[in-house]
Amino acid sequence: MSKSASNTDEFEGRVAFVSGAASGIGRAASRLFAERGARLVLADLDHEGGESAAEAIRATGAEAVFVETDVAEGEAVARAVATATERFGRLDYAYNNAGLSGPPNFVSEMPEAQWRRTIDVMLTGVFLCMKYEIPAILASGGGAIVNCASGAGLIGFPGQSAYVASKHGVIGLTRAAALEYGSQGIRVNSICPGTARTAMVEDVVRETPALQQELEGLHPIGRIAEPEEIAEAALWLCSERSSFVLGTALSVDGGYVAQ
């Protein structure tokens, strides 16, 4: 989605926090936020990728700062979120997108360490982000939070029990937070992406070329998404254009869960 096709000033003067911002959908969302006027705090465990993402935004004349962050660690998340108010004086939006991938395993074969790390990053990480984002957004007069769930948060998927459980949990956590804070001026929603053309996916496809056609076949639209297509949904849920949307789990999946 080009800048000319967007509402280029809809986030002017506002501040957004994006986790998992070093690559893929998080990096795309950060760029789109910046193009539309927001100042950015980027959080990710990938120091090199995060600094690169922040530098790319600054090269356009927008403001962005990167904070190396493991979202599974409360102190690290608190420090990253505090950067928004310390550096820019406020926090208005958050896109909690950090995630990881792991090898497929059936439940009885799942290593306990893999289960715990998946839940720690993709469910507890969302909880910790919201725990520290919410007070900052309330202090700024309200705003919006978007949590990245997945189509796997709406259905089951064999071999991915930890991932599926974490994403179902994100949707439930989102709905609870939406009911707790909607009347106080914070809209909390989630998005449920299908497969997107991220570096993570491209690495897997490079190792198993036949997987490309298989992934495309899972989506009735006949292809996988570009990261910007998913990011656009997250930005829409932050914008005033979605002002009456609260507690939803928005599928952005090319029809994957409609089958």
Catalytically active residues, by annotation:
163
CB 229 within 8 A of CB 250: no
Q: Please give the Cα distance from 98 to 118 (Å, whole number).
A: 11
Closest CA relative to residue 185, chosen from 81, 93, 86, 90: 93
* Token couple for 117: 């790390």
What Rg do the C-alpha atoms of the chain give, in angstroms? Answer: 17
| DSSP conformation class of 82 | H
Q: Please give the Cα distance from 128 to 210 (Å, whole number).
A: 38
Alpha helices in the chain (DSSP H): 24-35, 47-58, 74-88, 112-119, 125-139, 161-181, 199-207, 210-217, 227-238
